[in-house]
């Protein structure tokens, strides 16, 4: 029987996940489809109950439901427990709904895809919210680091760093003055995103020209931060790769297949870039 998958969010029209997963189903000759479902917070529980009853095989969860969905599931994978957030739900053979989180690992895979073993040495993570948390834990467990976390609200950086062995928090001023020590920077805040805050979350004057600068934002494809990094000769990575790999990891949980991410990266880049 044809399987079906979904993505739940509010808003949801902008999501490129249906395009991406439908493309991968076709490419891999899997008889399945993937639909966007607009779900408001008040309707989240009844939506999950309905998907369970109607036999949905799995789904993604996006803003603002990543945390709120947890009580309605039957269990969590460690990735979701650590992040206290779910972006992927799959069914076990006995029908239980398990929440996972592929965001952090998706970022690590996109970094590796582009730079291989080049991303070595101290990593500066900018931001201390949910995205930073997932990325920090995934980087740590993949052996990157040592990790340094800087954030506008330094107390949040201190809390996150305190949960990760060997990690340290820095104020923005400290991070800016020590920027030359970091061969890898990872920008996880919303600063620079279309329709959010314009500008840059920290000053790059002291950036090492051999550094790798990653921004998890993919719209615009090139944030002001990435543009400035390029101007000093640094290598850059935008958020398209993370988006594609978090989806690929979900797809693998559902189907057992890790789909073609390179071609998808080019397609999504074209879609976003117009």
Known catalytic residues?
A: 66
Q: Is 64 in the site for ligand ATR (CB under 6 A)?
A: no
Residues 93-112 that bind ligand ATR (CB under 6 A): none
CA 202 from chain centre, in angstroms, equals 21
**Sign of the dihedral through C-alpha 193, 68, 18, 29:** positive
When CB distances to ligand ATR are compared, the closest residue is: 129
**Contact residues for 87 (Cβ-Cβ < 8 A; gap 6+):** 60, 61, 62, 66, 100, 101, 102, 103, 246, 250
Please select the residue that binds ligand ATR; options are 69, 119, 131, 149, rule is CB under 6 A.
131
Site string for ligand ATR, 197-226 (x = CB under 6 A): x---x-------------------------
Per CB under 6 A, 239 contacts ligand ATR: no
- Residues 145-184: x where in contact with ligand ATR by CB under 6 A, - otherwise, as a string: ------xxx--x----------------------------
Residues 6+ apart with CB under 8 A from 117: none
Please report how close the Cβ of residue 133 comes to ligand ATR at its closest, in angstroms.
Answer: 7
Q: 110 or 255: whose CB is closer to ligand ATR?
A: 110
Shorter beta-carbon distance to ligand ATR: residue 134 or 259 = 134
User: Which one, 189 or 246, has the nearer CB to ligand ATR?
Assistant: 189
- Shortest CB 254 distance to ligand ATR, Å: 24
Q: Residue 127, Cβ neighbours under 10 Å: how many?
A: 26
Which DSSP string do the residues of 248-269 spell out, in sequence order? Answer: HHHHHHHHS----HHHHHHHHH
Token digits of residue 203? 């000053």
N-terminal to C-terminal alpha carbon distance within the chain: 37
Query: Could you check whether the bond before residue 11 is cis, i.e. omega within 30 degrees of 0?
Result: yes
Residues that bind ligand ATR (CB under 6 A): 127-132, 151-153, 156, 188-191, 197, 201
């Amino acid at each position: 029987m044809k399987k079906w998958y979904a993505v739940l969010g509010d808003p949801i029209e902008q999501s490129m996940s249906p395009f991406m997963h439908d493309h991968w189903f076709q490419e891999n000759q899997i008889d399945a489809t993937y639909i966007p479902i607009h779900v408001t917070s008040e309707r989240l529980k009844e939506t999950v109950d309905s998907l369970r009853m109607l036999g949905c095989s799995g789904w993604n969860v996006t803003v603002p439901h990543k945390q709120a969905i947890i009580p309605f599931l039957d269990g969590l994978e460690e990735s979701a427990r650590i992040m206290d957030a779910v972006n992927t739900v799959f069914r076990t053979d006995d029908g239980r709904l398990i929440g996972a989180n592929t965001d952090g690992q998706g970022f690590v895979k996109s970094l590796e895809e582009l730079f291989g073993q080049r991303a070595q040495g101290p990593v500066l993570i900018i931001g201390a919210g949910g995205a930073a948390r997932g990325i920090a834990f995934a980087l740590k467990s993949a052996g990157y680091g040592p990790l340094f976390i800087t954030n506008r609200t330094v107390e949040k950086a201190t809390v996150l760093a305190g949960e990760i062995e060997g990690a340290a928090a820095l104020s923005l001023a400290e991070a800016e003055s020590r920027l030359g020590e970091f061969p890898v920077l990872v920008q996880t805040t919303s600063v620079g995103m279309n329709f959010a805050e314009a500008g840059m979350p920290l000053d790059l004057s002291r950036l090492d020209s051999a550094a790798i600068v990653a921004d998890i934002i993919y719209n615009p494809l090139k944030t002001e931060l990435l543009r400035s990094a390029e101007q000093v000769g640094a290598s850059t990575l935008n958020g398209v790769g993370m988006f594609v790999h978090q989806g690929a990891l979900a797809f693998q949980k559902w189907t057992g297949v890790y789909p073609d991410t390179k071609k998808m990266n080019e397609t999504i880049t074209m879609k976003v870039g117009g």
